[in-house]
Structure 1
Amino acid sequence: MAVVGTGALTSQGAGAAALWEGARAGRVAIRPVQHIDMRGLATKLGGEVEGARTAPRGYRRPEGHRERALDLALAAAEEALAALAALPEGTVAPTRFGLVLGTCNAGLLSARAWLDAARRGAAPDPRLPLLATPQALAESVAAAYGLRGPVLAVNTACASGANAIGLGADLVRQGRADAVLAGGTDAFSDVVFAGFNALESLSPEPAAPYSADRQGLSLGEGSGMVLLVSTGFAAAHGLRPLAEVAGYGLSADGYHVTAPHPEGAGAARAIDSALRRSGVAPEDIGYVNGHGTGTPKNDPAESAAIARALGESAAHTPVSSTKSVIGHLLGAAGAVEAIVTAHALDEQLAPPTAGYTRSAPECPLDYVPGAARPLHTDAALSNNFAFAGANAALVLTRPGTHTPPVPDWDRVVVTGVSVLGPAGDGIQAARRALRAGQEAGSLEGGLRLGRVALGDEEIAPYLTRRQRRRMDRLAVLSIVATAKALADAGLSADESVGVVFGTGTGPMEAMEKFVLPLLEEGAAAADPSVFPNTVYNQAAGQVATHLGLRGPTSTLSVGHATGAAAVAYTADLLAAGHADALVCTVTDTLTEQVARAYTATGAASTRPPGAPADGRFTLAEGSVALVMERLSAARARGATVLGEVLGHGMASDASRARLWDPRGRGMELAMRRALADAGLTPRDVGGVWLSAAGLTAADRAESAAVERVFGSDTAPPSHAPKSVLGEPMGVGGALCLALSLWSGDTRPAGPAVVNSSSLGGSHVSLVVAAGDPHGTGDPGGPDNDEGVNQ
């Protein structure tokens, strides 16, 4: 995939050119931070974006409030999109233009403002939650530029930017978009500084990665975005590629919530995967843009990983760290470092590692000390590793020098299911409640909520009390659900099996627990045992660590469309051969402030049990885990196949004026794309599992879309399980898929369409066939409560 546009805003200044010039010169832009109170911290320094920044496009926000992470992202997006300015308008249709945004902290300043108002007893502005989540930022950028293709948010902490670029390249490569804007963004906050300070990770001087006298990391802020198109599109429209994304790799350490595997085993697997996917040999990598944070544990672990992955050639391959000049940009790091790597290939120049003074025995590679150095290579590697043991590696190549191998495509099936919800433990509990019309939830403080009741005796087989001590409920529910799904599939966890995690609202329990004391007492109140749990992918890391899943890992947060989006990404990773088996786990939990936010936005129901519908939904929590495998792998191990993911489609309403299109055009496009991807027509469909949960305006839009796709007279049966079981936020799409695999007393009449929509107008539609596509195995039937598939 060709990188034809880049945009960046960092402490080096505005623009990708300023970023590259600063990196090439080794000019350190880590200096005293001006707009954050740094009292009580071990450092006063950071890679700060200087000056007041006004976003080039507007977005919905409270009067007087700005979300800095979004302002930074919009500035980088504006620059990257300028690459298309010379082309006729409409060269890329808006419906074929996608966006993948990576972020670690998302709209943390908006979430902080909400929590601060709540702490003071004030009424928080209801528009603040609309800027707090990763998908909220992604949808705001998409709306600003009218991008109506797939719109997704990736949150694999400090690996997010690289993961986003890899996923964006996949969307173009697989024909799901003609162009994708991909990258990352994160902004400074007192919360983040206090957290890293509590972990004793901050350096009092500008970071000196890999050097023997390194003292820790320097934080940075900013955004980096790249514009991706196919090489054929670039050639046809006269666009000059800066570099090409040849491949990427993902892996989980499964080792520790913050520390990397000391031997770099997990990181090496990500690099190996990136090389394999790109078809580039280890000895052909001529430059590595390292993760290079400057911490005592990360630099040796990465050095070991590079040595493991590149073999003998590692000793003479130049490695440098961009973090030495701009700091660690967290979720944006992978994006800005990919931009630097692309420029390094383009100019054939390896930028130096600033601050490097002397070698350390634990870091024995060539870290380009002093000044930039000429290169003679067609391929480079960019590494990013993160909290919760998430690793991502990108292989970039010079344009026209390399053709990646064609993936070994395979069909994708579901072999294990686990459901935890208000109706109880297991898919059968959900099915019984649905058939009986047993509505979820009870009134709590005037709000109708559906909670997961999971007692100590049900958790004990999977986690000890000691293990749970530093976990939140998001992690606990995810571990239990994933373990049950693996048992259902009869699959043993190992380093080849990974986890794709999804969450709509994220780790709000940990966020509230960490932030509220800070607002009261300042940085001294920061709890180092809680801070690592505030990243969205922390539950994925806990799952990987406690269950031994060390294959590819990623975390998506796409609002209420998360479940379906996570299934779609899992299916694409498997189909292309990134792994033979992955667990797709989607979890959301309720906290006081989450419930309050939904109430403030007018989405959550307040009706008592049995009362008439009030045009809003019953807010619920839950966890669904699906074991998904390549069909060939499932066949080889004799697995029982419950169903097949035949295809999927995505689209966005991308509206600056409203949250979703009342005519349902985005949902309609997602369904039509899913059917086309599956090679089916509307008449082939045996049922539609709706996103509808009771929110009148959104449900009407979906209903209109379904009628246009299937017709009013010939439409297949529709199911709206969330209107009974509650709206489990991001879990809904995965729950509906699980229910669709066996939905009644007889086999489904045909494949099912499963719809899912975020409250910001992002839509994902799946096409799923129940049962074994080529066998006669019975997955258990709807009333088989004793069978293995529950």
Structure 2
Amino acid sequence: MNSDPAPGRTADDHAEPQAPAPAEQPRAPGVAIVGVGAVTALGPTARDLWQGARAGRVEIRPVQGVDMSGLDTKLGGEVDTPVHRHGRAYRRPAQFRERALDLAIVAAEEALSALPPDLADPEHFAVVLGTCNGGLRSAREWMRAVHAGEAPDPLLAQMVTPQALAESVAAAFGLRGAVLGVNTACASGSTAIGLAADLLRHGRAEAVLVGGTDAFCDVIFAGFNALQALAAQPARPYSADREGLSLGEGSGMLVLVRSDLAERRGLRTLTEVAGYGLSADGFHATAPHPEGEGAEAAIRAALRHAGVAARDIAYVNGHGTGTAKNDPAESRALLRVLGPERAGRTPVSSTKATIGHLLGAAGAVEAIVTAHALAEQVAPPTAGYTTPDPDCPLDYVPGDARPMAPGVAVSTNFGFGGANAALVLAPRGHRPPLPLLDDIVVTGVAVTMPSGNDVAALWAAYEQGSEPGAVEDGMRLARVDFDPEPHLNRRDRRRMDRLGILSVVTAAKALTAAGLEPDSAAARPVGVVFGTGTGPSEALERFTLPVLDDGVRAADPSVFPNTVYNQAAGQIALHLGLRGPTSTLSVGHATGAAVVGHSADLLAAGHADAVLCTVTDTLTPYVARAYADAGAASPRAVGAPPDGRFVLAEGSVALVFERRSAALARGAHVLGSILGYGMASDASKARLWDPRGRGLERAMRAALHDASLDAAELGGVWLAAAGLDAADRAESAALDRLFADAGTPPLHGPKRVLGEPMGAGAALTLALALHHVRRGGAPALVNSSSLGGTHISIAVQGPDPDHNHHQDNDHDHDHEGRA
């Protein structure tokens, strides 16, 4: 995989004096924040947000747009700006708007407004959107209508997922680079910014529109109320008299570019994203580790990634929810990171005291506040802080804002499922160290699918053309049959849903296959990257439908934590003893490829030596109904002729990726390697494929460029095709152009036989591709496409460690004797 290092200064002009690094020490490219936009309870702009936060102005007030009957609070940080007047169209029912999407578009308009329209080629302008709840209002209305026996507009179900929002934002602004939906609960916004910075540093984008969004919905209030987490008065983070959190809504969006581009174009840089860190608590579904171990790990990882020390921290924008458990755990983590001397004189404040907890948008909005604080060297206060708490012994900036010392700033966010994220922001000119480059190899693969619970069985079913599934309610559905007992006992499964159980079982098999014993010392630093296309549908249905019928009193606190997309990642970390970096992506039917690319970039950036990547989707009646209403699900019986639609399947695929040096050092068996990957989007306002396949062609060409391959070197292509005619024809057109001068290699379409496992599809085809090239052979491409026009292609190679396609273009493509 290619890297594009850029030299830079070795010490910040704001940091404490330190000896310059040797001239030969490589430095990673800087990442500049050149545009920001926000819409929050403090107002419709980022300037309103910063000025309100700096003044400590509390805008947590009685909520008007949601029925608050029966709740422990009537308050929230509500946006009272008419956000639907932005004028940018997106695909929706005529009389319905998705508020989370409207909020994101308004913030994005502001972030882009001051930038030159030719800032970057639209084909290299990416979008990364973090969200906790996605289009929950659309999901609620869809479920309500179906539950009531009505016939809802199919477009409602197509606005539910994080990827639906991300693709709609990209289309609204005509951005055709990578488009990714991130969902790590309340850490989503911060995680998205870190991922966006990686895209720039790895040369996968010229510019990235990145941020977070979440909107109020009665379902969310019911959930937090059931957990008894809501305060009757505005939240008072870190204060001894705190009662709980206040929810907020809104969006924050940032435009990131490489610092050298910002300098060439004369763009104003607010601050730079110097580094980020992620970690998994592996402790509890909703509560943090009481000593803040996961939070500490994320902060230390961010400092290491940025190449700065704890003594360089001049300000911390804390997670600061105002809850009894979160604030002390975070404070203990910061106390250990800063050390006893600096802890008492490093300002820490929480923006949530002014606007509430914006869930998936919190990290993005708070990064904007942190960037302004650093740029103006002013630490904003923690509004409402009145009484010191012995469990929270830091300087929380009570009263008014005050000047802060030169240095870097840290912004922290922690979410359900034990997902922790920290950002390090630095003034212009900072260049983080470049990690040592290494190949990314695969050392473990496991599948749990309708056609087989191991790769050999899956391969046999594919070769024999064995079609799984049966017709249910007019749709052909393929379901998984598996035994969780070897990996999860009945007690462990008591509060888990099918998505979590299936994910843990498959992840455990992959970890074992890689020679990493679950819950061992060797497994502890392994990262967890999870992907799901349709998300926690079972839990969302189980939680929401009783609330629709009987109101807040029917909200089940044992089910609510499972309604976040990253809950399965948390279960994997908890049950398998993994504490490395964790992230969750939801990119529709391209999810499997997206998590593979994200895992490879995490390893390349030095965040971990090994990452366990798991992709899972399950079938529920509402999921199947959504596909049927969209005209995508096939009703044909087993053995019937194709009908231009696909057979829906559920399933889970897990792969272990490692840096080659780490894998060889522990004697792991290498199954293959990831040579590179490419991403592109059609950016269609209709959220459909380009019928000419131009987006997928760009993704394939980008993957070949990243892998330093020519099309003629490929030994095969594993297709995204799953039987849906419109998408399959577009892929065929793209392949015709790609191989116009090279001759088309063998094409493999396993999903046409085994069914379309939604987000797990690309991981399924990758597992089969690795099985096919296990004796060496020529490199192959693995394609994937979301139903909204996002395309990702991965270049994969067989396991021979001596094979070097970069230097020897005359090698034999048919080595049968390789181990």
With the shorter chain as reference, the TM-score category is over 0.9
Q: Distance between the aligned counterparts of 1:51 and 1:77, measured in 2?
A: 15
Map of 1:119 onto structure 2: 147
Match of residue 58 from structure 2: 28
Specify which of 719, 723, 743 is matched with residue 690 of structure 1.
719
- 1:609 is matched with 638
Q: Which residue pairs with 1:370 in the alignment?
A: 399
SS at match of 1:615: coil
Deviation, 1:748, is: 5.7
Deviations 1:583-641 (A, max 9, x none): 00000000000000000000110011111111000000010000110000001000000
Distance across 2 between alignment mates of 1:21 and 1:52: 21
User: For residue 465 of structure 2, what is the aligned residue in structure 1?
Assistant: 437
The aligned residue for residue 480 of structure 1 is: 505
Q: Give 1:100-249 correspondences, 5 Å limit.
A: 100-249=128-277
2:699 aligned residue: 670
The residue that corresponds to 1:753 in the other structure is 781
- Kept after mapping to 1: 8 A contact 2:43/2:81: no
Q: Which residue of structure 2 lines up, in the alignment, with residue 308 of structure 1?
A: 336
Structure 2, unaligned runs of 5 or more = 1-30, 805-813
CA distance in 1, matches of 2:435, 2:627: 43
CA distance in 2, matches of 1:296, 1:56: 43
Distance in 2 (CA, whole Å) between partners of 1:91 and 1:487 is: 47
AA at the equivalent of 1:36: V
Paired amino acid for 1:16? A
Q: Is the 8 A contact 2:503 2:614 kept in 1?
A: yes
What's 1:18 paired with? 48
Aligned residue in 2 for 1:453 = 481
- Partner of residue 385, structure 1: 414
Q: What corresponds to 2:648 in structure 1?
A: 619
CA distance in 2, matches of 1:53, 1:235: 33
Which residue does 2:28 correspond to in 1?
none
Identify which of 489, 494, 497 aligns with 1:469: 494
Matched, 1:521 2:550: yes
Aligned position for 1:734:
763
Could you report, residue by residue, the CA deviation over 1:683-736 in whole angstroms, capped at 9, with x for unpaired residues? 111010000000000000011101111228711100000000100000011111
Q: Judge conservation of contact 1:687–1:748 (CA < 8 Å) in 2.
A: no
* Alignment check: 8 A CA contact 1:30 1:327 kept: yes
Q: Identity over aligned residues, as a percent?
A: 67
Partner of 2:608 in structure 1?
579
Contact kept, 8 Å, 1:740 with 1:770, in 2: the verdict is: no
1:524 and 1:51 mapped to 2: Cα distance? 31
Q: Which residue among 657, 661, 671 is the counterpart of 2:690?
A: 661
The separation in 1 between residues aligned to 2:803 and 2:280, in whole angstroms, is: 33
Match status 1:718 vs 2:747: yes
Deviation at 1:51, TM superposition (A): 4.0
Q: How far 1:123 moved relative to its partner?
A: 0.8
Kept in 2, the 8 Å contact 1:583–1:627? The answer is: yes
Between the aligned partners of 2:182 and 2:81, the Cα distance in structure 1 is 28
Question: Letter of the aligned partner of 2:187 in structure 1?
Answer: A
Residue deviations 1:637-664 (CA, integer Å, cap 9, x gap): 0000000000000000001145110000
Match of 2:107 in 1: 76
- Using the alignment, how far apart are the partners of 1:404 and 1:658 within structure 2? 37
Task: Write the deviation string for residues 186-217 of structure 1: whole angstroms up to 9, x where unpaired.
Answer: 00000000000000000000000000000000
Choose from 446, 462, 472 the match for 1:418. Answer: 446
- 1:399 alignment partner, SS class: coil
Instruction: Kindly state the Cα deviation for residue 406 of structure 1 after the two structures are TM-superposed.
Output: 1.2
Query: Aligned partners of 2:688 and 2:741: how far apart in 1?
Result: 26
2:440 & 2:412 partners in 1: Cα distance? 29
Structure 1 gaps, min length 5 = 784-788
Aligned partners of 2:568, 2:215: CA distance in 1, in Å? Answer: 23
Aligned-partner Cα distance in 2 for 1:91–1:320: 34
- Residue 52 of structure 1: how far off its partner (Å): 2.9
Structure 2 counterpart SS, 1:251: strand
How far apart, CA to CA, are the structure 2 residues paired with 1:656 and 1:90?
A: 21
Name the counterpart of 1:399: 428
Question: Shift of residue 311 of structure 1?
Answer: 2.0
- Report SS of the residue matched to 1:132: coil
Matched residues in 2 for 1:657 and 1:361: separation? Answer: 55
TM-aligned CA deviation for residue 308 of structure 1: 1.8
RMSD of equivalent CA atoms: 1.5
CA distance in 2, matches of 1:410, 1:713: 30
Aligned to 1:47: 77
Matched residue type, 1:488 = A
Alpha-carbon deviation of 1:378?
2.7
CA contact (8 A) 1:56 1:75 kept: no
Following superposition, the deviation at residue 568 of structure 1 comes to 0.4
Residue 439 of structure 1 and its aligned partner are, at CA, apart by 1.0
SS at match of 1:597: helix
CA distance in 1, matches of 2:343, 2:258: 31
Cα distance in structure 2, aligned partners of 1:282 and 1:409: 26
Note if contact 2:776-2:800 (Cα within 8 Å) is conserved in structure 1: no
Residue 775 of structure 1: how far off its partner (Å): 8.0
Q: Distance in 2 between matches of 1:727 and 1:774?
A: 35
Q: Does 1:66 align with 2:97?
A: yes
- Corresponding residue of 1:4: 34
8 Å Cα contact 1:686-1:748 kept in structure 2: no
Contact kept? 1:410, 1:576, Cα under 8 Å: no
Residue 786 (structure 1) aligns with = none
Query: Where has structure 1 moved over 4 Å in runs of 4 or more?
Result: none
Q: CA shift at 1:743, angstroms?
A: 1.8
* AA of the residue aligned to 1:459: P
TM-score normalised according to structure 2 size: 0.93
Quick check: 44-53 or 518-527, which moved more? 44-53
CA distance in 2, matches of 1:436, 1:203: 60
SS at the partner of 2:545? Answer: helix
Q: Secondary structure at the match of 2:204?
A: coil
- Equivalent residues of 1:414, 1:628 under 8 A apart: yes
CA distance in 2, matches of 1:641, 1:371: 57
- SS of 1:391 mapped into structure 2: strand
Q: Secondary structure at the match of 1:429?
A: helix
Determine the C-alpha separation between the residues in 1 that align with 2:263 and 2:473.
61
CA distance in 2, matches of 1:53, 1:662: 33
1:130 CA displacement: 1.3
Amino acid of the structure 2 residue aligned with 1:531: F
1:103–1:185 contact (8 Å) kept in structure 2: yes
Name the structure 1 match of 2:599: 570
Q: Give the aligned residue type for 1:481.
A: T
- Please tell me whether residue 269 in structure 1 is matched to residue 294 in structure 2: no
- Once residues 209 and 479 of structure 1 are traced to their aligned partners in structure 2, the CA distance between those partners, rounded to angstroms, is 35
**Which one-letter code corresponds to 1:177 in the other structure?**
A
Indicate conservation of the 8 Å contact 1:644/1:772, yes or no: no
2:91/2:687 contact within 8 Å kept:
no
Render the CA deviation track for 1:265-291: whole Å, top value 9, x for unaligned. Answer: 011000000000001110110000000
Alignment match, 1:38: 68
Query: Shift of the alpha carbon at 1:398?
Result: 1.1
Amino acid at match of 1:201: A
